[in-house]
Amino acid sequence: MNRLFHRANYRVSASGGLKNPSFEDWPSAAKQSEAMFPELVTDLLKGGYKVSFNAPGHSMYPTIMANETVVVGPVEPSAIHKGDIVLFRSNGSLVAHRVMGVVKDDKANEYSTLLKSFCLDEGPSASESVQSLFFILRGDAARTFDEPVTSEQVLGKVISLERNGKIINPYGLKHKLACWAHRWAARLKRYLFFFYNHKRM
């Protein structure tokens, strides 16, 4: 690990790594920086460092809001449990989703159909694939599972969030209750909107 990285915690920016590009170079500089970001995060986490960055997207809403700061720490795949939020590599991108299930052996039949659907004909058989450690993941706002993730793809575990200047434990009871209330409020709002429009017709 480069001696420049001597602290135990880093704030990583998707635009960090390129210094003061000129206006004309901005599009290429942005693309280069975006490509470097997953590699930088991967190297830091594999080196045993924590990283923090703004998480784009809405796939973990309302647990993680768009552009909210997340702190990710290194984790051993064997220490990951159902309910954890893990950061993993998928097609060169970084994704943070919740673990819905851990498949350790062929006795875990709950997700066998999902695993088989992603097995290639020329690859290992479904029974051989299940012998490895797989994680079944899904975004909190999604209705479908992700493609099963191997232990080699997992980089770290989300350990905290920063919202409005406050540090939040995403696994704490207070945050879980707040997310539950937020979901039910959104459902009630949709129901009232539908009911109101239906009565006007």
Assess if CATH 2.30.30.90 describes domain 9-170: no
Inform me whether the pLDDT recorded for 1 exceeds 50. Answer: no
pLDDT at 198: 63
How far apart are the C-alpha atoms of 105 and 114, rounded to whole Å?
A: 14
pLDDT at 152: 92
Where are the chain's structural domains?
9-170, 172-201
Inform me whether the pLDDT recorded for 45 exceeds 60. Answer: yes
And the tokens for 57?
């997207």
Inform me whether the pLDDT recorded for 69 exceeds 90. Answer: yes
pLDDT at 108: 57
Inform me whether the pLDDT recorded for 28 exceeds 80. Answer: no
Mean pLDDT of all residues in 5-17? 50
Q: What is the pLDDT of residues 129-184, one digit of tens each?
A: 445 788 999 999 998 999 999 999 999 999 999 988 899 999 999 988 988 888 78
pLDDT at 187: 72
pLDDT at 15: 45
Inform me whether the pLDDT recorded for 36 exceeds 50. Answer: yes
Q: Which residues pair with 157 in a beta bridge?
A: 73, 86
Q: Which residues pair with 131 in a beta bridge?
A: none
Pair 153, 90: CB distance under 8 Å: yes
And the tokens for 107?
């006795």
Distances (CA, A) of 16 to 24, 161, 200: 18, 21, 53
pLDDT at 44: 95
To the nearest whole percent, how much of the chain has pLDDT over 70? 70
H/E stretch holding 196:
helix 173-200
